[in-house]
Structure formats: structure tokens, C-alpha cells
A and B are shown apart, each in its own frame.
Chain A
Amino acid sequence: MAKGLFATYHPAVCMLFFLAAIGFSFSTQHPVYVVLSCVMSSAYLVYLRGWRPFLRTMGTCVPLVVFVGLLNSLFNAAGATILWQWGPFCVCVEGLCYGVAMGGMLTAVLLWFACYNEVMTEDKFTYLFGRRLPTVSLMVTMISRWTPRMVSRGRNIHDSQEALIGGYDQSRRGMLHRGVRMATVLVGLGMEDAIQTADSMSARGYGSATRTSYARFRWHARERVVLGVFCALIAASATLLATDAGAFTFYPLVSPVEPSWGYATYALMLGMPFWVELERLRIPWYSSSHGKQPLTRASVHGYE
């Protein structure tokens, strides 16, 4: 399990986690909360994908932070401490801070989405929404089957076309014409494929009864416990964060950062993918909270 234990939890738990992480990250620009979210999401992404891919992702995020920060400070002149003024443009410390916080917030959200992609694979998503929206979820799986197929079809059409008439007309007009022709063939073949797939679906009873779902996930005692703890953390973080964020402003002067219990709660909430790993350590108080019961005659007989 390269992705860690958290990825094996029930999709509903994973989904709730990412909804909370992304939602909270979006909701505040309080610098401490932004930094916490950035640190936690970075740590989790490194854990999931390793350093190299993480740095590559950051390579696209850092310019974003700089860009948003500069843009904000250029156009937002509400601050009190003026750094530099030129005509209508006025750069002040507060605006710069606000911009950096906003960039950090965006970075955190992007990183959480990157983690989401690693953990919430398509089958989990389909499982979560499949029973409610069977048609939509089937469409999602079918699209994800079709996309690579269309790409390889397109390559095949391109090759066979270039091999025959590519040499005749290298002008831009000729190439444009061939592009249009390729699209026509792709659509024609695609429809032909779709008819055959539809045949295969109806031959296997598609639409003959209410669809059920091949569920690959089950609720365990551990999921319930973890979910309970997590919900408590969400509630605590929400209250504390609201208070802290309410007391903090960027304009006209950046308010000082006060110590708060909210930071710890927030870190603990975002750190869920890490603390669920404690299970591996077989810590007695942690393991026993999983509802593990000694095997008794009664529970053995329960199988009958």
C-alpha cells in the first residue's frame, strides 16, 4: 500500500476529509491557518507522490503566489504603510501581505486537489455517487474508457492518412484539409464504435432492472471511530477558526497574530492522513478503540 492507510478508508471518510480540507483552506486568509494548510498539504503530497513530483507541482504554484501577491498589491491601495508610489499605482505593505496570503491559500487548495486526485480514484467517486446517480456514474466510467480509445483511434487515423496522402500537399491549406478529414473519420468511427458498445450493453441486460452497484468498500468499526473524531475536530476547528479569523484584519494595518488553540486543532484535523497511520504501531489504546472484541464462543457461533 504505497498510498498509506488513509487511502484504504471508506470513500465517504476520504471525501469528507477533502471537502473539509479544501473548504477550510478556501474560507480563511489568516496567515497561521494558511501556513498550516500549506505545510500539511505539502507533507501529504510528498508522502503520496515523493519529492520530485511535489517539487514539480510547486514549480507551478510558486509563480502563482508571486503573481497574485504582486497583482493584489498593485491594485489594492487600502493599506496604511505605503512602500512605493507611482502615478495611480500605490504599493503598500498590507496589500502585499494580503496578496501573499491569498497566493498561499490558492497554493494550499491546489495541493489538496493534487492529494485528492491521488486518493479519490475514480472507482471511489463512482461508488459514492453511483447508487444515487447510476446513470451519471456509469457515464463517468464510460467517458474514462472512451477518452484514451479516441486518442489512439485519432493517432491511427492520422498515421494511415499521412502514409497515403501526406506527401502530396504540405501547404497549410492541405494540412488544414487533412485535419478536417481526420475529424470526420474520427466522428464516423466513433459512432460506429458506440453502436457496437450499445449492443453489448443491451445484450447484458442494461436497463432491464434497477441498477445495483458492485460495492468494493465496507464500513468497519475503525471507520466509525475515526469519523467521530474527525467530526469533532471539524466542529472545534470551525468555531475556533471563525473567532480567530474574525479578529484578524489586513487593512488598514495588519493585526498582530495572537496565540490560539485553533492552530493545534486545525493542524490535527488536516493531519488526519498521518494520525490514522498510528494504527500500524499497534498502540494499545488506539487499537482497542477499534471495537476489537476477544473471540468468545458466542461470537464464533454467530457465523452460523
Chain B
Amino acid sequence: MSEYVVEMRGYAFSYGSTGEDVLHDITFGLENGSFAVLCGTSGSGKSTLLRALKPELAVAGTSRGTVRVLGNDPYHLSSVESATRIGFVMQDPENRIVTDTVWHELAFGLESIGMDTQTMHRRVAETAHFFGIGSWFDRKTTDLSGGQKQLLNLAAIVVMQPAVLVLDEPTSQLDPIAAKGFFDVLERVNAELGITVLITEHRLEDVLPFADRVLFLGRDGTLAYNGNCDGFVRMLKKDDDGLYAALPAATRMSMLLERAGKGTGDRASYPVTVREGRSYLTSALTTISAQGGLGAEPHPAERTLPPSDVVLRAKDVWFRYDRKMPFVLRGVDFDLCAGRVAALVGGNGSGKSTLLLALAGIRRPDRGRIIKARNLHVALMTQNPKALFTRDRLVDDLLEWSDLGGYSLSNTNDMLERFGLEQLRMRHPYDLSGGETQKAALAKILLLGPDVLLLDEPTKGLDATAKAQVGAILTDLTLREDKAVLLTSHDLEFVSEVAHTCSMLFGHEITCTQDAHSFFLDNLFYSTPTARIARGILDGCVTTADLAASLGLG
């Protein structure tokens, strides 16, 4: 048996039999018990690579080179061995759950491999205990939250006692708090059970602190980096490959300082967590003041928003879904202005989505009113934008409402170009990646020419690059076309960069509305990582750009 649990040597893959290789010359090995993160921009073939480890899930195509899992070719394993040795956790927890109750879901895999009842009970009990599932063991799977669903998926795999756990963007559909919870458990699985983990993830902020290995898949489909975290950051510094924005805020800050020659050279490793970031920033500032201070005293410009017309107003809105249920919105007042991006933040179940539905006129408030400017066209994009598509090709789909919206094929082509989707016009909409789906849905909505855009979680499942693109489009829409945008998001960093105003929903009411910059400065911990790093050390910074401005690094 080889020393590696997972090993690939000279692996190459192409779709179909004659297509061009999307992965070339992939060579790496993972030692037993390691925690490896596979990163790369979307579309670089991360999922394809992971799926090559599990014959049942492998993408159809031609591959060359060797793949070894526990020293064996996975294709030579029996299906029982494959099921028990290689665990695979996928995106979209909702669709991965097979049965209707939690206990049955945990037992499903064991039932499939024909385990005897006695051993099965013991395994299920142990696993439920390890994952803290005991209290919701008898629940229906439909009643679980998204975070619980993904935790259940993980538990239903770990119950098979795999030697390797492969995870393909497991938290892309989760809110940040649920994602943190998931990673904490994953870290325990790795540390306490010694199961080798290989994960792709675009929230590097959450996962890098645990990782002892980073694999980086370049745009050309080769393994551009294979080593520890520190070396990875160092490598990114040299060649910025669109992953910069995905790095933890503390790491980005240290890279910024280092590029300007003001880093603290005495440090062996880059800061990853907020705590490390704070101590890094403190010592960097000491060095800077020893060298003669920051030069000109920088001061971030005071931000004032130009006055603007209110186009959509919620006035004392109360709403409940059913007469017997509690109110989801309690006396909400909200103004939406033209030419601005407004953001709505708050926990799960605080009523964000409901408020959007009310503003869009789909749910009638029980009390209060929605006041709309005359002839105003309001469009809402709900979560799960896939629900918008009906046709087999993207371009046909975008043309679906051309009669209603009065637009033509050339408008559609312009829109595709604006979103950078022209390459994908012949694809099936369901085959698009998360970011592409989100952009395509936005394109379809914009073709209808709405004046107000209400977006429910537009950043869900997007990687840093796609997020930046969506952000740029929204800014453009408000500044150049004077549209009003209201979005809900859990991604505070995105909100701080894109939104002009920010409101917090808590306990079914709006607790405060402020311009986004002051909102994040005034919040103590419901704020961006950069704000948490810089608080008390270098005031007035919410984003990395603010930090650069305050330090006079431009």
C-alpha cells in the first residue's frame, strides 16, 4: 500500500473522446489524516477532478494517468467498498437527502450495503451523538434548516466510516453562520476521527484556518500549486489569478501592506484570522510610525448620499402567512430610492424574503400599505433563480418574454454580452454554474426593463469573481440608469462594497437604516472582517479599499 490515501499521477481529463483536455498532468498525494483545500476559479475543473475519485459520480469523458484511493484504483473497488471508503458530500443539500426522516437518512447508506441491524443501530447511535443530532433524530427532513440538512448529509456519509471525505462546495447554499457551524464539525471529523478531507470551497476565509494543504488549479487546468497555506498566499502575491478577493480579509490586508513595502518582515506566516490580523496591523503601524508615520494624514472622505426620490415605500406593514401563525413583519417602514442600492441584512427567518414579496406586491400586507410610484415596474428575483428558466437554450430562454417586454434578439445579444455570457448562449440553462445562473437570471429580468429590482440573496453560491461582476452590474444600473435596487444578503463584505444604504431586520422589525459605511462602522460585530480587524487600531475602515486609503497606499 502506498503512503498516500489519495493519489493522482499524471492525471488528464477531457470531455467526450476527442475534446481538448480540461485537466492536464495533475500529480499530487494526500497523506493520511490531512485536510486539503482544492481551489481555483469557477470553471477550472475542480468538480471534475473530485468526481474522478468516485466512479459512481465520475464525469463522462476520457481520462489518462493513474488515480489511487487507499492504494487501489477506485474503478477496481466493489460498489460496497467504494461506498464505505470514499465519502462524497455534494452541493445543494436539499437534493441529497433521500428519505423523509432524519434517522432513516442516517441509516440509508448502511441499509444499502446490507449491514446487520445490531451493528447498524450502534453506528447510527454513535454518529448521531458525535454530530449532536440526538435532539432532532426523529424529525422530518423537510422541517430542517439548510445548515441542519447539510450537517445531516455529512453525518449520513461519516456513518459509513469512510477513510476519505471528499466535499464539493458543501456550503455554497448556506448562510455564513450555518457554514461556520458546518466547518467546525468538519474540522472535528478531521481532527478527532482522523478522516482525510479534500474539499473545494470558495469561502477561503472559513476553511483556510483548518487546512494543512492547499491545491490550486490554474485556469489552464494544471495544478499550479501544491503545498501549505503560507506558500499559497506567497504564490498568489506573485501571480494574482482572480483568487485574491476570495482570501481572508486579514491575509488581503497583509498582502496590501507587503506590496507597499510596509509589511512586518519578521513574520513567518500570513495572518488568516481576525485576531491574527489585528496583531499584524498593530505591529505594522508601529513599524510605519517608526519610519516616520503615514506621511500625509489620510482621512477617508465623508460620505454623503445625494438626495433622491422615493419610488417604493412600505408604510407600517404587518404580515403573517396564516391567521394562526405569528406575524413575520411587524410594522415595517421602508423607503426605496431611485439610483441607489439598498441592502437588507438580518438572520434567517427575520422576514427579509417576506418583505421583498410584499414590496413586489405578491403578498398583501394584513395591515399597512405598499405605496408605489405611478407606472413603476417592479421585478423580483427570488432565491433559486433556476425557477425562471423554461427553454433548452439560454438565448431562447432570454427571448421568452420578448412580446411582453417589447425587446428583440439584438437587445438580448447585447444583454448577454454585458453579462459576459455570450459564450454560453447555446447552453442549457440548468447546466450553468451558480454564478452564471445568477447572471443569466438577472439578464432575463433586466430585459423586461424594470425600474425597481428586488433581489433575494443574489450572491448565494457565487465565488469571489462572480460576486464582483454582479456587484459591478448593480452599481452600474443604479448610477447610470437610475434604477432602484434592494437586495438581501448574508455576505456583509459584498454589502459593504456595493450597497449605499443598509437596513437591519431583527425580530420582524427594521431596527436601523443607515448609509452602508456608517452602518458597518457603528456595528460592533455584525460587520465586515476588515472593520473588525481595524476597529480601535485604524478607525473608519470597512473594506480593504478603505484600509488602503487610510494607509495612504491607494
Contact = CB atoms under 8 A, between A and B. Distances in A.
Interface of A: 122-123, 126, 138, 141-142, 144-145, 148-149, 153, 156-157, 159-169, 181, 184-185, 188-189, 192-193, 196-197, 199-216
A193 B82 CA distance: 23
A250 B518 CA distance: 87
Contacts of A162: 362
Count chain B CB atoms within 10 A of each CB in A138, A181, A205, A215 and give the residue with the most.
Answer: A205
Given A189-B387, A204-B83, A205-B82, A160 B99 contact: no
Contacts of A161: 387-388
Contact of B390 (A184, A204, A205): A184
Nearest to A192: B430
Given A163-B378, A164-B448, 17 more contacts: A141-B100, A156-B383, A160-B381, A160-B384, A185-B387, A185-B389, A197-B96, A200-B97, A203-B83, A204-B112, A204-B157, A205-B109, A207-B112, A208-B82, A209-B114, A212-B117, A214-B110
Contacts of A149: 94, 142
Interface in B73-105: 78-80, 82-84, 88, 90, 92, 94-101, 103-104
Contact of A200 (B98, B142, B381): B98
A214 B157 contact: no
A141 B140 CA distance: 11
Given A204-B112, A207-B112, A196 B90 contact: yes
Nearest to B120: A214
A282 B198 CA distance: 57
Contacts of B157: 204
B108 A157 contact: no
Given A142-B99, A160-B387, A205-B80, A188 B430 contact: yes
Q: Which 5 A-B pairs have the closest CB atoms?
A: A205-B83, A214-B107, A163-B380, A208-B79, A209-B114
B115 interface: yes
B440 interface: no
A157 B321 CA distance: 17
Nearest to B109: A204
Contact of A123 (B101, B109, B110): B101
B104 A214 contact: yes
Nearest to A149: B142
Nearest to A186: B387
Contacts of B109: 204-205
B352 to A, nearest CB: 14
Nearest to A154: B387
Count chain B CB atoms within 10 A of each CB in A166, A209, A214 and give the residue with the most.
Answer: A214
18 contacts: A141-B101, A144-B100, A157-B387, A160-B380, A160-B385, A160-B388, A163-B357, A163-B361, A164-B379, A197-B98, A201-B98, A201-B108, A203-B54, A203-B56, A208-B113, A212-B111, A214-B107, A214-B110
B256 interface: no
Contact of B78 (A123, A159, A197, A208): A208
Contacts of B378: 163
B404 interface: yes
A214 B103 contact: yes
Contacts of A212: 110-111, 114-117, 120
Contacts of A193: 94-95
Nearest to B117: A215
B483 to A, nearest CB: 15
A138 B121 CA distance: 19
B112 A160 contact: no
A169 B142 CA distance: 35
A37 B84 CA distance: 52
A100 B157 CA distance: 58
B384 A156 contact: yes
Contacts of A153: 387
Contacts of A201: 98, 108, 112
Nearest to A145: B100
A145 B112 CA distance: 18
Nearest to B403: A168
B393 to A, nearest CB: 13
A161 B380 CA distance: 9
A205 B142 contact: no
A204 B124 contact: no
A71 to B, nearest CB: 37
B459 interface: no
B108 A204 contact: yes
Contact of A205 (B112, B153, B388): B112
Contacts of B419: none
Count chain B CB atoms within 10 A of each CB in A126, A142, A200 and give the residue with the most.
Answer: A200
A141 B99 contact: yes
A209 B430 contact: no
